[in-house]
C-alpha cells in the first residue's frame, strides 16, 4: 500500500468508501456479513482511511464501520460528515443543515454509532447556503477543542465557499466528485486546495461503477442512480460516457489491467490527490481495486486517456 500526507495524517492512497454498504434507500448491498468482511479485508490490505456519513443507510454505514474496526480503532483514520439531515428515512426528506444546533446534535450521534470517542476527519457533507460559513466553522472549532474531532474538512464546496471557510478555520481536505468522467474541479478548485495545503479526497473515482466497464448503454439502474442526484446515469450523457468507457476498456487490455483499475490509477496520478475513496460491496472488489496502485500506463496510453476524457471547453 502507498500512503500520502493529508494534513498531518498519513492516509492510504485508496480509501474505503462506505456509502454503498449503508444500503437502502441508496444502494442494494450483499448483506452486512459481506460488508463487514470487506471492511476487515481492506484493513488487512493496508487501507487505513475509512469514509462514511450519517446519511449513508441512515446511520447503518457508520454502525458497520464502527463495529468492524473497533479492535483496530487506534490504527485507522475514521472520516465522517455532518450537515445532511433526514426526516422520514427517504431520499425526498434529505435537507442540508450545517447550523450550530444541527452539528452539535449530529456529532454525538456519529460518535455513538461509530463506537469511538473521536473522529479523525469531520467533513461538512454539502454546503448549506442558509447558514453562514462562520457559524459552521466556529462550531467545528469548538468540537476540535473538546477533542471530539481531530481535523476539519469540507465536501462538495466550490472554490468560493472554500475561500470563505478558510477565513475561520484550517481545513485539511476537500472531498469532491473526481474521476475521468467528472473533472470540473481541475481548473480552479484543485490549485486553490494545493495552495492552501488541502488534500483532495476524491469520491466516486469509478463514477459509481460506470468506469468498471460492467454496464452498457441500455443499462437501467434500479437504485439512486436512476434519480439524478449526482453523476450521469441516464439519457444521452450516459450513452456518451459508455462509449468512452468502451474505449478505455481497450486501453486497459493493452496494459493488462481492468478498466476500473485504469480509471482509479488515473485519479491517483492527479495533482493534489491524497486518496481516492473507492466504494466496494465485497472483499473481492477491494482486492481487485488496489491493483490500481504502483504502475502507470505507457506515455502513449496516458495521452490517449487524457484526450478521450478531456473536459469540454
- The DSSP annotation for 22-36 comes to G-TTT---S-HHHHH
Which one among 11, 14, 17, 185 touches ligand NAP, defined by CB under 6 A? 17
Q: Name which of 146 and 277 has its Cβ closer to ligand NAP.
A: 277
Q: Which stretch binds ligand NAP (CB under 6 A): 134-142, 247-255, 265-273, 282-290?
A: 282-290
Applying CB under 6 A, does 97 fall inside the site for ligand NAP?
no
16 in catalytic set = no
213 binds ligand NAP (CB under 6 A): no
Record the cell numbers describing residue 252, joined without a space: 486497459
281 binds ligand NAP (CB under 6 A): yes
By CB under 6 A, the residues from 56 to 85 that bind ligand NAP are: none
Closest CA to 111 of 143, 87, 138: 143
Nearer to ligand NAP, 129 or 146 (CB): 129
- DSSP assignment of 141-210, as one string? HHHHHTTSEEEEEEES--HHHHHHHHTTS---EEE-B-BTTB-TTTTTHHHHHHHTTPEEEEE-TTTTTG
Q: Which of 56, 157, 203, 215 is catalytic?
A: 56
Mapped onto helix, strand or coil, the DSSP state of residue 304 is helix
Task: Decide: is 54 part of the binding site for ligand NAP (CB under 6 A).
Answer: no
- Strand-pair category, 14-17 with 49-51: parallel
Identify whether the C-beta of residue 178 lies closer than 8 Å to the C-beta of residue 202.
yes
- Does 277 bind ligand NAP (CB under 6 A)? Our answer is yes
Residue of 285, 300, 206 lying closest to 245 (CA atoms):
206
**CA atoms lying within 13 Å on the CB side of residue 141:** 13
In whole angstroms, the minimum distance from the beta carbon of 19 to ligand NAP comes to: 3
**Strand 95-96 to 84-85 pairing:** antiparallel
Instruction: Show the cell assigned to 144.
Output: 476540535
Tally of CA atoms within 13 A in the half-sphere of 200 that contains its CB? 27
- What does the per-residue mask of binding to ligand NAP show for 234-263, with x meaning CB under 6 A? --------------------------x---
Segment near ligand NAP (CB under 6 A); pick from 39-47, 104-112, 208-216, 243-251: 208-216
Region from 13-21, 91-99, 107-115, 161-169 binding ligand NAP, contact rule CB under 6 A: 13-21
Residue 175 sits in the site that holds ligand NAP (CB under 6 A): yes
Q: Judged by CB under 6 A, which stretch of 4-12, 128-136, 192-200, 275-283 contacts ligand NAP?
A: 275-283
Binds ligand NAP by CB under 6 A, chosen from 206, 245, 252, 273: 206
By CB under 6 A, name the one of 77, 171, 278, 283 that touches ligand NAP.
278
Q: Any residues with CB less than 8 A from the CB of 57 and at least 6 apart, and which?
A: 21, 22, 23, 24, 26
Determine how many CB atoms are found less than 10 A away from the CB of residue 257. 19
Residue placing its CB nearer to ligand NAP in the complex, 77 or 206: 206
What are residue 78's DSSP bridge partners?
50
Classify 29 as helix, strand or coil: coil
Our CB check for ligand NAP shows the closer of 131 and 175 to be 175
Distance, CA of 205 to CA of 149 (rounded, Å)? 26
Contacting residue, 204, 241, 265, 275, with ligand NAP by CB under 6 A = 204
Residue 178 binds ligand NAP, judged by CB under 6 A: no
Supply the residues annotated as catalytic: 56
Residues in touch with ligand NAP (CB under 6 A): 17-20, 51, 125, 155-156, 175, 203-209, 212, 214, 260, 277-281, 285, 288-289
Amino acid at each position: 500500500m502507498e500512503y500520502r500526507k493529508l494534513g498531518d495524517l498519513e492516509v492510504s492512497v485508496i480509501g474505503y468508501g462506505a456509502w454503498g454498504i449503508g444500503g437502502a434507500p441508496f444502494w442494494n448491498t450483499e448483506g452486512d456479513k459481506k460488508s463487514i468482511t470487506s471492511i476487515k479485508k481492506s484493513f488487512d490490505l493496508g487501507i487505513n482511511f475509512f469514509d462514511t456519513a450519517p446519511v449513508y443507510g441512515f446511520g447503518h454505514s457508520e454502525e458497520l464501520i464502527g463495529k468492524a474496526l473497533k479492535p483496530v480503532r487506534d490504527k485507522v483514520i475514521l472520516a465522517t460528515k455532518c450537515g445532511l439531515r433526514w426526516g422520514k428515512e427517504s431520499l425526498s426528506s434529505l435537507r442540508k443543515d450545517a447550523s450550530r444546533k444541527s452539528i452539535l446534535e449530529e456529532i454525538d450521534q456519529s460518535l455513538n454509532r461509530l463506537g469511538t470517542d473521536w473522529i479523525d476527519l469531520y467533513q461538512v457533507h454539502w454546503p448549506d447556503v442558509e447558514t453562514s460559513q462562520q457559524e459552521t466553522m466556529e462550531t467545528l472549532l469548538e468540537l476540535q477543542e473538546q477533542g471530539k474531532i481531530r481535523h476539519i474538512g469540507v465536501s462538495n464546496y466550490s472554490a468560493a465557499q472554500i475561500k470563505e471557510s478558510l477565513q475561520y478555520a484550517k481545513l485539511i481536505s476537500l472531498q469532491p466528485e473526481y474521476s475521468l468522467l467528472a473533472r470540473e474541479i481541475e481548473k480552479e478548485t484543485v490549485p486553490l486546495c494545493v495552495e492552501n495545503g488541502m488534500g483532495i479526497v476524491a469520491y466516486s473515482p469509478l463514477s459509481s461503477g460506470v468506469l468498471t466497464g460492467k454496464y452498457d448503454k441500455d443499462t437501467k439502474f434500479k437504485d439512486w442512480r436512476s434519480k439524478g442526484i449526482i453523476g450521469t446515469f441516464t439519457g444521452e450523457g450516459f450513452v456518451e460516457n459508455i462509449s468512452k468507457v468502451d474505449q478505455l476498456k481497450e486501453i486497459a487490455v493493452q496494459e493488462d489491467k481492468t478498466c476500473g483499475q485504469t480509471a482509479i490509477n488515473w485519479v491517483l496520478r492527479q495533482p493534489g490527490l491524497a486518496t481516492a475513496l473507492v466504494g466496494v460491496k465485497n472483499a473481492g472488489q477491494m482486492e481487485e481495486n488496489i491493483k490500481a496502485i504502483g504502475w502507470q500506463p505507457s506515455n502513449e496510453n496516458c495521452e490517449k486517456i487524457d484526450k478521450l476524457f478531456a473536459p469540454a471547453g
